[in-house]
Structure 1
């Protein structure tokens, strides 16, 4: 019997890590809502109402310092400090404004994807083509947006099952099962409910790509869309599944480590130390007055008159009496533990952009002359390659010819324009020692040239520009005649 809801063992094993990092990046509200999952309950065996109220107060006083979430946003911001380079055929120009059919540009979607890969080390992109009901797609359909290629983004938790098989000497995806949550309108037309469905992508026995959809019901999961075979722009069936895995280490089907997991674990430890520190500060942090040498009669007299604090309310004590203020010593153990964990989080965040902290694949090494690179640059390289592949598939869906490339910035230092270097590079181009395209790329990376302009566009603009007025031809001699006049 078919079980479309089956999940792979490695998927189940990774779920705890994924949830931890996701929750930590969401912030204090999510962490505290999880209760004792992240903050153990003191005296957990005591189920009394008083103990539960004490735990609620203990949790409220705790401070969650979201270093992990802020680090993720800072890393994504470092990538987009310099605008990506997008090169696509004219038929795919729309991806710069809407790549998923919902108004999200390739830049916005890739920002989100980088964040997901940093969190859990895994993501997925599906290239699809929404055909019109008639079965034939006209140019007007494509221009109006009724039918065009798109890229759907899938978080790691949605990719529940996958398989590969050897085809022609290479491993190809043969099965991908995606768990989707869709909104279903209620009968009154105003409300909505969420339903779960499973999109199945597979290569059938003949090596043809097919899709089918299953819907989860109250008693069973049934197929609601029979298997169908999408066609490419030439009207041919696909021989591969146009689904691209992304990872923090490489873009194969294996589940990679989460770059932010270690920081998230320390972040939770810092939160627990904070709860203990704030509890101690609340219980014994305030100064406590004391008196000694009082007789019973004197004690009763003070209780009857009342004891007030302040310079205008002196305490009258009997002969031999004494008083003072008792102040608890600082809880240095919890404070030192918090400070140590904060330093560890800073160190871990820095290592994500430190060169030499990750290993490149052979393909990546060929594409980048740098021998060492950071975890972040590896993630960015993987995302760039994944989107470039998706753009190629989109071009195949629309039968568009031309280069398809998406390249994200991998230089995370503050980009500046060095006049000396700029002059030297210009002279090298003029002297035939440096290709003009490399010089233009240098200017693209520093925001001088629009990063979306291709070399051909720059060359055409330079060739069509006016050379300016011919000053030499307007030179006039004192008698009003040019030197060339007779």
Structure 2
């Protein structure tokens, strides 16, 4: 990565990791993006010109193993809805946490995808600009429907950070630099869109949280035609667009216009950065290795071998004719069933140059072997990180998931989103419990009829409580995840009353049945005697 200066400076660990992040991103996006990168992932063969390489590239196939693995693991986490508890004031807000229509669960799904792909993302809790309103009270902000929103930043967009002494004591992150891409109408052509780089700096000024926004001048921007959309790029700018009339400082630094703002809660400035780093295991600024980087590398190796394999098959399927013992003038120029070759030299020979197809067997075998390794690497995401020797057969999939990398991702993302929600709650000046917990039960484990019979028997024998029975039935997906024990018991009682009414089991009939109980007992004893005549001595 080229050395950068000023606002474009990146952290050392960012420069070290960006190549891996981009590779993981491209692999997740699939063949179109991989082909677009050309020689980055598929080197040109010696002697190939541009047209030959283009044909070589088009014949290659990128197997979307990594992308499908990401989708599968994300689906495992979200096969059950997250546990969400929010103050009443936030119930409606969770239907649109980004300000552009994305609900909380969908936002969480995006965060999980980032953890699976690059192992890194960040959430900024921001607030619409109140510039022009002055210092607003909480009531005034509510009346104007100004609410906080969440913004997700990918690993590639968190370009720099710094540690230092925090204003409220302790040591931690005191500066974060975020790279954004925004679009503006060209100043010279209203039908042309200009893409601008924008850096958002979160830091402290005299102990107070500040945002500085460096927006690229249009002279150095990339022009893009309106209506031409890159599917791998977010068209909507990340974060709020600065209000140029009020936030612009009048400064222009190295081709960037500088804007500045001090976000406030209830008219008071903050003494912390409302930004949360999310990795696989921690919520720190430290960079972690992408959890499936080895799988990605194998995916690209499979891609390169497939290119050679299909390149060779192309020539096997299209043999090249040859002829010897003739001059260049006498050599035929056409071939086919309607063409006759007249050769004056009786020793002339004709034939086809054809590659032996058996030579491609080793390539095919290696592709199959890589596919097997990729499957094993994906499965390893569900394997426990063992502290000692333990036989694999002693663990089932469900218990393994509790200590797996996927489980760590679920837990860390849960804590990160919960932390962001607490900041949003405080910004909305409300109180109450905030809970956000993603599912860690990744594989359905429905109980069999034998399992249910055994559980009921244990409960009837007094070996387990009714609450334990309920929990086991819930874990076995016999009872819905969102049903609580008290509600379940109430539903059973209501159902019993309805059933009693259906069969006319009124209090009167029950009294009558009670008056006949001695005779009933005698009849029952007689029935037993009939069934087991040897039972009496």
Shift in Å, 1:402:
1.3
Shift in Å, 1:154:
0.5
State the distance in 2 between where 1:438 and 1:385 align. 30
Residue number among 259, 264, 267 corresponding to 2:291 in the alignment: 259
Shift in Å, 1:401:
1.4
Which runs of 5 or more residues in structure 1 are unaligned?
310-321, 360-368, 479-486
Equivalent pair of 2:402/2:440 in contact (CA under 8 Å): no
Matched, 1:247 2:279: yes
State the distance in 1 between where 2:470 and 2:426 align. 32
State the distance in 2 between where 1:151 and 1:58 align. 44
Q: Secondary structure at the match of 1:212?
A: strand
Which runs of 5 or more residues in structure 2 are unaligned?
221-252, 339-348, 389-398, 513-537
Shift in Å, 1:71:
0.9
Shift in Å, 1:87:
0.9
Cross-structure match for 1:171: 171
Residue number among 337, 340, 344 corresponding to 2:373 in the alignment: 344
Equivalent pair of 2:127/2:263 in contact (CA under 8 Å): no
From the superposition, tell whether residues 474 and 349 of structure 1 become closer, same or farther in structure 2 (CA, over 3 Å).
same
- 1:348-359 to structure 2, matched below 5 A, reads 348-356=377-385
State the distance in 1 between where 2:160 and 2:83 align. 33
**TM-score of the superposed pair, with normalisation by structure 1:** 0.77
Equivalent pair of 1:210/1:230 in contact (CA under 8 Å): no
Q: Secondary structure at the match of 2:382?
A: coil
Equivalent pair of 1:358/1:375 in contact (CA under 8 Å): no
State the distance in 1 between where 2:303 and 2:172 align. 44
Aligned pairs, number? 447
Cross-structure match for 2:59: 61
From the superposition, tell whether residues 334 and 374 of structure 1 become closer, same or farther in structure 2 (CA, over 3 Å).
same
- 1:271-286 to structure 2, matched below 5 A, reads 271-285=303-317
Which of the pair has the greater relative contact order for Cα pairs under 8 Å at 6+ separation?
A: 1
From the superposition, tell whether residues 445 and 400 of structure 1 become closer, same or farther in structure 2 (CA, over 3 Å).
farther
Cross-structure match for 2:530: none
- 1:318-333 to structure 2, matched below 5 A, reads 328-330=356-358, 331-333=360-362
Q: Secondary structure at the match of 1:400?
A: coil
State the distance in 2 between where 1:95 and 1:472 align. 49
- 1:330-409 to structure 2, matched below 5 A, reads 330=358, 331-356=360-385, 373-409=403-439
Cross-structure match for 2:86: 88
Shift in Å, 1:127:
1.2
Shift in Å, 1:287:
6.7
**TM-score of the superposed pair, with normalisation by structure 2:** 0.71
Can you list the C-alpha shifts for 1:66-86, whole angstroms capped at 9, x where unaligned? 111111111111111111111
Cross-structure match for 2:528: none
Shift in Å, 1:91:
0.9
Q: Secondary structure at the match of 2:92?
A: helix
Cross-structure match for 1:198: 199
State the distance in 2 between where 1:476 and 1:374 align. 56
- 1:280-295 to structure 2, matched below 5 A, reads 280-285=312-317
From the superposition, tell whether residues 29 and 357 of structure 1 become closer, same or farther in structure 2 (CA, over 3 Å).
farther
State the distance in 2 between where 1:226 and 1:445 align. 54
Cross-structure match for 1:224: 258
Equivalent pair of 1:173/1:240 in contact (CA under 8 Å): no
State the distance in 2 between where 1:79 and 1:304 align. 64
State the distance in 2 between where 1:432 and 1:304 align. 92
The RMSD of aligned alpha carbons is: 4.3
Shift in Å, 1:384:
0.6
State the distance in 2 between where 1:97 and 1:429 align. 45
From the superposition, tell whether residues 441 and 384 of structure 1 become closer, same or farther in structure 2 (CA, over 3 Å).
farther
- 1:106-255 to structure 2, matched below 5 A, reads 106-130=104-128, 132=130, 133-134=132-133, 135-136=135-136, 142=142, 146-167=145-166, 170-186=170-186, 191-206=192-207, 208-217=208-217, 218=220, 220-222=254-256, 224-231=258-265, 235-255=267-287
From the superposition, tell whether residues 434 and 477 of structure 1 become closer, same or farther in structure 2 (CA, over 3 Å).
closer
From the superposition, tell whether residues 140 and 226 of structure 1 become closer, same or farther in structure 2 (CA, over 3 Å).
closer
State the distance in 2 between where 1:390 and 1:152 align. 10
Can you list the C-alpha shifts for 1:329-383, whole angstroms capped at 9, x where unaligned? 4212221221221111111111112223799xxxxxxxxx989621111111110
State the distance in 2 between where 1:90 and 1:463 align. 30
Matched, 1:35 2:42: no
Q: Secondary structure at the match of 1:174?
A: strand
